[in-house]
Amino acid sequence: MLLVLALLVRLAVLPATADVGLWVADERHYHLLASSLVEAKGFAFESGPTSLRPPLYPAMVAGTWQVTGGRSLQAIRFAQILLSVATAFLAFVLARRLYDQTAALWAAGIVAFYPSLFIASYLILTETLFTFLLLAHATLLVRLLQRPGLAVAAAAGTALGLAALTRSVLWPLPLLLVPLIAWRASAVLQRRVICAAVFTIGYLVVVTPWAVRNTRLQGVPVVVDTMGGLNLMMGNYEHTPHDRIWDAVSMSGERSWVWNLPALPPDGGRWTEGLKERWARQQAVEFMREHPGLTLWRAAIKFGDFWGLERDFVAGVQHGVIRPPVWVTALIAVTTTVAFPLVLWLAVLGVWLRPPSEWRAHLVLLLLVAVVCGLHTVVFGHPRYRLPLTPILAVYAGGAVSAQAWQWQRLRGGGVRSLGALATAALFIAIWVAQFAVRDWAHLQRLLAVTS
């Protein structure tokens, strides 16, 4: 019933988005790539074949258009609505496996009606697909560690490969997961090793063809896309803006990250996207080595940005990208601002006071959160990049609600775990207060001026 309600509410909102276009540059990129695929021009921009973006989301868009016989954005939004409801179902399955029916219902409800996930269903961005695939992988991985099987191992590896082809932040993850499966899956050593091998094969079958294509096209090894090195440099060079680190792409002139790009590659030939990425990555690593203190300070800022309050919608209104009625702006601003701290607090309680009894599952869920957060802390953080982790937070939040972990008696009697939960919550509160006082107050004043 909960999933049916989530579907009906999303479908009811869908007609109101009929006139909504492509808000941001990323949407336009995905639209161009999908159009190129539909027109049988390959994975390419107008300038030619590219490796700039991961391929799976544009392929999903193109596939949806092929099925529906047009290029309607509404068709994509409808497909993403189905994916978002499926994600809520996966949250139910994972929470029930780790906790109980009550926790599962809460986890599914949070995912189904979490404001930012709800809004993401209507954007032509990777969030909805990536969130579904990441949670599918997490669910299969937990199942694999609890009861190893070859089919589950293959499915878990395949799901990870598909997720990596949606967002490249996950492609190095097998380096951690394969040894973990071989070492800690619940089975004898021989079966653990076989499952780890099958997991690897499932992953490689999905990722390898694309990596080979990219490497041939770019002339250097490229696994998923060529954005990684570029983003690393934009987050770690002389003129990286500390107030909006993710916005270094807008820097121009001598402050641009490409200002020092040589006219030709150091090894001769011509520049390709892959060679530019390699050059940018080398420049970033060199800068980080030469400025360790600044790098650590920026990492702290990026960590805070990653866990910052959600304000993408409000920023869109502020910059005039979207112009909804004032009451819609106010409603979404309030719900998105309140929902994240509430869910995060419950998740913190779940992690510290009501972790899953199956410690392997607890380990891999925290590992997924740590890897995504850690890589964005090195490159650049943004609340949008945290959004796909929301279902994992929702599972922990469901466990906390099921055990009523928020009650003062439980906090008071939790000992070191209670102190850990309170310290973690205090860290996040300190981040939000600092961000509001240093950066967001001026943005809020401008937003009030826009909506008044």
Characterize the bridge pairing of strands 48-49 and 44-45.
antiparallel
448: pLDDT strictly greater than 90: no
Rounded to whole angstroms, the Cα distance separating 195 from 153 reads: 6
Cα–chain center distance at 191: 32
For the record, the structure tokens of 40 come out as 């049988």
Residue 447 has pLDDT above 70, yes or no: no
Residue 83 burial class via C-beta count within 10 angstroms: exposed 0-12, middle 13-18, buried 19 and up: middle
Provide the 10 A C-beta neighbour count for residue 361: 22
Residue 45 in 3-state DSSP? strand
Closest CA to 207 of 271, 163, 261, 145: 163
**H/E element holding 48?**
strand 48-49
DSSP labels for 218-282? HSS--SS-SHHHHHHHHTSSTT--SSSGGGGGG--GGGSTTTT--SS-TTSS---HHHHHHHHHH
Among the listed residues 157, 169, 430, the one whose alpha carbon sits nearest the alpha carbon of residue 300 = 430
The Cα 412–Cα 418 span in angstroms is: 7
Task: Quote the tokens at residue 337.
Answer: 């601002």
pTM: 0.94
Per-residue pLDDT band at 321 (split at 50, 70, 90): low
Q: Domain-by-domain residue ranges, the chain?
A: 2-227+301-451
Span 352-378, average pLDDT: 95
**Lowest-confidence region among 13-27, 73-87, 336-350:** 13-27
> How far apart are alpha carbons 199 and 67 in whole angstroms?
31
One-letter identity of residue 438: V
Structure letter (DSSP) for residue 405 = T
pLDDT digits (tens, 9 = 90+) for 286-301: 999 999 999 999 999 9
Tell whether the model's pLDDT for residue 51 goes beyond 80.
yes
Kindly indicate the confidence band of residue 440, based on its pLDDT and cuts at 50, 70 and 90.
low
Find all residues with CB under 8 Å of 158, minimum gap 6, and list them. Answer: 202, 203, 205, 206
Q: Pick 156 or 357 by higher pLDDT.
A: 156
* Per-residue pLDDT at 444 exceeds 80: no
List Cβ neighbours of 125 (8 Å cut-off, separation of 6 or more). 24, 26, 27, 30, 57
Note the pLDDT of residue 317: 60
- Beta carbons of 162 and 133 less than 8 angstroms apart: yes
What is the C-alpha to C-alpha distance for residues 154 and 205, in angstroms, rounded to an integer?
A: 10
Residue 320 has pLDDT above 60, yes or no: no
